[in-house]
Amino acid sequence: MPINDRCWGCYEVLDTENFYHPGCAQKLFGLRSTPSLNMTNFDFGQVAQDMVGQMSISGVQPKISMRLDKKTKSLLSAPQGGELILKPQNSRF
Ligand SMILES: [Zn+2]
């Protein structure tokens, strides 16, 4: 059983272990496959420090500016020039 059975892009049923339909990934990221986000090596505390004074916080919802590295197909934190917003569900913020 896949962990998620709904596409994160359109929320229609997904029958693969991807997070998005290929078409939805294409629309969102310009890639045919879902970019990877390595959460285990992702240091939110460090990223937050890097972005002090640059993060836009509305209400209490933390946001991290991200960009897509099309060479490695992975999402990276981007203090400048971010094109995507990551909203961590993390109480440490
Ligand atoms: Zn979809």
> How do the domains of the chain map onto residue ranges?
1-34, 35-86
Contact status, residue 37 vs residue 51, Cβ threshold 8 Å: no
Range with lowest mean pLDDT among 30-34, 44-48, 55-59: 55-59
Distance (Å) from CA 17 to ligand 1 centroid: 12
Q: 6 CA distance to ligand 1 centroid (A)?
A: 8
3-state SS assignment for residue 76: strand
pLDDT score of 55 more than 80:
no
- For residue 92, report the distance from its CA to the centre of ligand 1, in Å: 31
Structure tokens at 42: 């992702």
H-only helix segments in the chain: 22-29, 44-50
H helices present in 5-91, as ranges: 22-29, 44-50
The single-letter DSSP state of residue 71 is T
**Residue 72: what pLDDT?**
81
What is the per-residue pLDDT across 72-84, written as a single tens digit (0 to 9) for each?
A: 877 777 777 777 7
Please compute the mean of the pLDDT values over residues 26-41 and round it to a whole number. 71
Q: Which token pair is 47? A: 């990223």
The pLDDT, as a whole number, for residue 5 is: 80
